Chain A
């Protein structure tokens, strides 16, 4: 494809030396190819380099107890997730002393906690029939869980569209619950 014609060959006639006619056009195909490849590269990398983020709002920790309204929440609306070690979760539905369901050990992801969340969401919705009174999920991370676990669970909340969730401190009873499932060592 190179088009740098130098016009060699049958250019001689009658012994005259003719000045060679040079064709100045260069084939630019390869150059254009390269340029577009680089453009694509820079275009993709610039838009991807901006980090993604996840908004997180924690419950207010104001010490002022006097003005705090007492919120009564039915036990059949709350589900508690205990994040243990080995990338496993223990969840229960209801109160910790007398759980309606659980405690059960599950993993993360599509076939693990997400299934349970979606199922419980449906149960609560059919029980109350009011979208405003949806499922409440309490996330309690133990000392053995990692930051990835926390982000994974928060992500599940977004995927399952859980209306209310909060990150709460874990209690000793719940640590014991995790220990029983082999997901917590002191």
Chain B
């Protein structure tokens, strides 16, 4: 009897190429994603339904939480420039090394007097809670105003653009503190800014 033999086909596929592609993509995403930088003042931002993204460049962020105010500028060149303006204003001098180290700090919250000390600290020591007391922003010693002004001037000089300002407030922060910060900005005729928020659905 002639038997028709079924040809046995292997169910195995060669996965080498697939594996290659997967790891290529994986390495791409690992390299392009930016690691989350520890913040000196962690805040819990309130949620909103709006999905506008924050711009990346020419942006200064004012972080408000626990009645303290921290300031951060995006871009190393702007940080250098702003530090120069502040140094001139408060007649302190920073060495080239200090300026370079400062340009790597994302956000800080110390009075100008303590800035040298902060710069000399190591990155992880800098972000320990309690190390940075916040930037003074009351009417007697309004350093926040000077910093905003310096950052705006720096953006004007370096990029010929108007600096965008974002306010990152803690959800539980009382309104008067936020109001004070907004007032400082409005005194400089900055009437438009971004409020940093989290994301939520419309159904709440």
Contacts and interface: CB of A to CB of B under 8 A. Distances in A.
Interface stretch (B20-28, B75-83, B129-137, B151-159): B20-28
Contact of A143 (B52, B176, B198): B176
Q: Which of B166, B170, B189, B204 has the most CB of A within 10 A?
A: B204
Interface stretch (A5-13, A51-59, A70-78): A51-59
Q: How large is the interface on B (under 10, 10 to 19, 20 to 34, 35 or more residues)?
A: 35 or more
Interface in B28-78: 29-30, 32-34, 36, 45-54, 64
Interface stretch (B99-107, B118-126, B178-186): B178-186
Interface in A30-72: 31-32, 35-36, 38-39, 42-43, 45-46, 49-62
B171 interface: yes
Contacts of A147: 46, 64, 169-175, 178
B195 A146 contact: no
A175 B23 CA distance: 62
A83 B196 contact: no
A70 to B, nearest CB: 21
Contact of B46 (A28, A58, A151, A158): A151
Given A148-B171, A159-B202, A56 B176 contact: no
B193 interface: yes
Contacts of B36: 49
Contacts of B22: 32, 35-36, 39
A44 to B, nearest CB: 10
A53 B56 CA distance: 12
A55 B194 contact: yes
Given A35-B19, A146-B174, A51 B196 contact: yes
B15 A53 contact: no
B54 to A, nearest CB: 4
Contacts of B33: 42, 45-46, 49
Q: How large is the interface on A (under 10, 10 to 19, 20 to 34, 35 or more residues)?
A: 35 or more
B16 interface: yes
A145 B134 CA distance: 22
Given A60-B189, A143-B174, 19 more contacts: A32-B18, A32-B19, A35-B23, A36-B22, A49-B36, A50-B53, A51-B196, A52-B51, A55-B52, A55-B192, A56-B195, A62-B189, A146-B171, A147-B170, A152-B46, A155-B49, A158-B48, A158-B50, A159-B202
Interface of A: 3, 25, 27-29, 31-32, 35-36, 38-39, 42-43, 45-46, 49-62, 83, 109-110, 141-152, 154-155, 158-159
Interface of B: 12, 14-16, 18-19, 22-23, 25-26, 29-30, 32-34, 36, 45-54, 64, 166, 168-176, 178-179, 182, 186-187, 189, 191-199, 202-204
18 contacts: A32-B18, A36-B22, A51-B53, A52-B199, A53-B53, A54-B48, A54-B194, A55-B195, A145-B174, A145-B175, A146-B171, A146-B174, A147-B170, A147-B174, A148-B171, A151-B46, A151-B197, A159-B202
